[in-house]
Copies of this chain bind each other. A is one copy, B any other.
């Protein structure tokens, strides 16, 4: 059942009261290359009225800019960024909150819901349409460039203890080591956080053969891209900086050096074993 009220206006209605329902798109633009950005992300960026994001990420999509208003933020202040985006969307605007990689993987999408859940938003902000846009994350790009390290079960762990207590991270590291997962380390190191990666390596050491492949990758898909594959025993954590992602294989992962001298790495799914069992 529904009730409907109808009325006739004496003239055309032009001055409508209220504001349209705003929209907040949390957009994963991929690692940086246009070739890895989803068409969905491109279309949402083009149709948005406002772009909110960290300077570097807005630079990466600058070639798409037409009439959008930019709201640039420095590193950090993530919550201020999200609240600003809600504020604009609450005014009926079509807001793109720009993230690198996937919008949910160590980016802003979870924080958008965390802020929404905190009951600190105004009613118009609380009503905005929210859309999360997935994207290719750095671990996927790093694995692809170096072969197929994530060819079997994997996990991602952020080594930043700014928001997560180190004891929780250590528990995850221990679990990932014992579970023999391929592991991607996000936020492995910063200027202030210099010890975490070495501690992580120490936890992994008893569980990984010395020849386990390690991928060290930065600026994926950009002109300054660097990707290097080394054996676990030769990995030097002090080579890693805050723009780098580190992938470590499972005990089954292998390095394969091809005829051109380049090293590739992969984690077999087990077809070779299957054949042996059948013999």
Residues on B with C-beta less than 8 A from A106 are 269
Partner of A113, one of B111, B112, B136, B148: B148
Complex alpha-carbon distance, A273 and B168, angstroms: 14
Distance between A23 CB and nearest chain B CB, rounded to angstroms: 14
Residues on B with C-beta less than 8 A from A143 are 104, 132, 134
Contact-size category for A: 35 or more
Distance between A158 CB and nearest chain B CB, rounded to angstroms: 6
User: Which segment, of A32-40, A61-69, A194-202, A238-246, faces chain B?
Assistant: A32-40
The verdict on A92 contacting chain B, using a C-beta distance below 8 Å, is no
The verdict on A56 contacting chain B, using a C-beta distance below 8 Å, is no
The verdict on A264 contacting chain B, using a C-beta distance below 8 Å, is yes
Residues on B with C-beta less than 8 A from A248 are none
Interface bits A119-158 vs B (CB < 8 Å: 1, else 0): 0000000110010111111001101110111111111111
User: Which segment, of A5-13, A45-53, A170-178, A229-237, faces chain B?
Assistant: A170-178
The answer on a CB contact under 8 Å between B140 and A134 is yes
What DSSP secondary structure best describes chain A's contact surface?
mixed
The verdict on A117 contacting chain B, using a C-beta distance below 8 Å, is yes
Complex alpha-carbon distance, A86 and B271, angstroms: 16
Residues on B with C-beta less than 8 A from A259 are 126-127
Distance between A8 CB and nearest chain B CB, rounded to angstroms: 31
Residues of A242-279 contacting chain B, CB below 8 A: 254, 256, 258-259, 264, 266-274
Supposing A117-B254, A140-B102, A256-B113 touch, asked if A153 and B179 sit within 8 A by C-beta, the answer is no
Residues of A within 8 A of B (CB): 26, 30, 33-40, 43, 78-79, 102-106, 109-118, 126-127, 130, 132-137, 140-141, 143-145, 147-158, 162-164, 168, 171-172, 174-176, 178-181, 254, 256, 258-259, 264, 266-274
Q: What are 9 A-B contacts with C-beta separation under 8 Å?
A: A102-B144, A109-B147, A114-B269, A115-B271, A117-B256, A132-B147, A134-B144, A154-B155, A179-B179
